[in-house]
Structure 1
Amino acid sequence: MSKQSRKFKVPDALANVYDFANTLDVRHFTHHGVPHLQNDELKTAQDLAAWMAERGLLRAGAKVAPAMLEAALKLRAATREYLQHDPAGRRQSSVTRALNERLAAFPLLAEFGGQAGARLQPARADALAGLSAVVAELYDGARNGSLDRLKICAAEECRRVFFDRSKPATRRWCMSTLCGNRSKARAYRERQRAGE
């Protein structure tokens, strides 16, 4: 769990999915006169290894190869694509197809025992086995419904993944005071221009 996932009270069971999806920061707005710089935390295989190690997802001595980085980036892109759809739309085959194709690189095995009774474990034995934990979180979240609350901000200049803590789970923006206000102000200006 990262500082960001703790700050925004993302449940531990979805923290790795949240953090992984947000390794790509495409925000491009100015806030209080300061432009936000876009960033990708996973530019190199070493970046991916460091990100995984920070979260306890990298086995000791495991090395991340460039091909593994490519598989991880494809998984991230498919995850973000999936999360940008509303929860009802996520169940359509056209939405799940790309994600399912990327998930195939991160197989899981059911393992019985322990306090949970059963859990999903990585079938891989290499450095990317840790990303199978992210896939297991996706699976568990989809199964218990908590993944429906993980969304992508509707503001085009943001597109940050957020956890919707609202009771009806209908939030559209990661922060209504920032992205929501900006979107509403833009819509108001457009209505004013159209009325002139």
Structure 2
Amino acid sequence: MSKESRKFHVPDALANLYDFANTLDLRHFTHHGIQHQQADELHNLAALGEWMRQHGLIERAAAPSQKTFEAALRLRAAVRDYLKCEPAERHRKPAVIGPLNAAMEAFALRVATIGKDGFALRPVTSDAQAGLSAIVAELYDAASAGTLGRLKMCAADECQRVFFDRSKPGTRRWCQSTLCGNREKTRTYRERHRHDPASEV
């Protein structure tokens, strides 16, 4: 779990998935006069290894391969596209489901017993790629638990940050209503009144 996931109270069971999706930062808005700089935490093979170590997904001495790096980027892109869809529409989007299924194939999982009457998904392999299999397992577990629908992508085009919707009805569209929400509402208001003759009186 990262500082970011703790700050926004993301459940532990979804923290790695949340952090993984947000390793690509596409925010490009200006806030308090400061332009947010876009960034990619997984900009190369070494960066992926460091991110996995920080999240306890890889042994300190282990290192992901180039193949794992490429698979990780495909998985991240597919996960983000999936989370960008409205939760109720996700299963109806073949163009989103197909790439996600293909991306997950690289991260094989098996069912294992974890205690009295308990079962869990565990990586089939024991190499560095197994660490990313844990991300796929979180995706499955969240879907089974009914919490995946609360993991969404901010509807603001200049943000696209993945967030966990903690609202009671689960209908939030923006990662932060006071920031992205206000910007969107202000933009809509200005557009509506730009062509409204009554607003010029």
Q: Which runs of 5+ in 2 are unaligned?
A: none
Superposition map of 1:28-107 within 5 A: 28-94=28-94, 95-107=96-108
* Contact 1:27–1:158 (Cα < 8 Å) also in 2: yes
Aligned residue-pair number: 196
Aligned counterparts of 2:84 and 2:40: Cα–Cα separation in 1: 18
Question: Which amino acid in 2 is paired with 1:181?
Answer: N
* Structure 1 position 60, deviation (Å): 4.3
Q: Which runs of 5+ in 1 are unaligned?
A: none
Q: Which residue of 1 aligns with 2:181?
A: 180
Question: Which amino acid in 2 is paired with 1:65?
Answer: S
* Structure 1 position 98, deviation (Å): 1.2
Aligned counterparts of 1:82 and 1:113: Cα–Cα separation in 2: 29
Aligned counterparts of 1:106 and 1:84: Cα–Cα separation in 2: 22
Q: Which residue of 1 aligns with 2:10?
A: 10
TM-score, normalised with respect to structure 2 = 0.94
Q: Using a 3 Å threshold, how does the CA distance of structure 1 residues 192 and 116 change in structure 2: closer, same or farther? A: farther
* Structure 1 position 115, deviation (Å): 5.6
Aligned counterparts of 1:29 and 1:116: Cα–Cα separation in 2: 49
* Structure 1 position 128, deviation (Å): 1.2
Aligned counterparts of 2:114 and 2:99: Cα–Cα separation in 1: 32
* Structure 1 position 67, deviation (Å): 2.2
* Contact 1:44–1:66 (Cα < 8 Å) also in 2: no
Aligned counterparts of 1:115 and 1:186: Cα–Cα separation in 2: 55
Q: Name the SS of the counterpart of 2:195 in structure 1.
A: helix
RMSD, aligned α-carbons: 1.1
Structure 1 moving runs of 4+ over 6 Å: none
Larger radius of gyration: 2
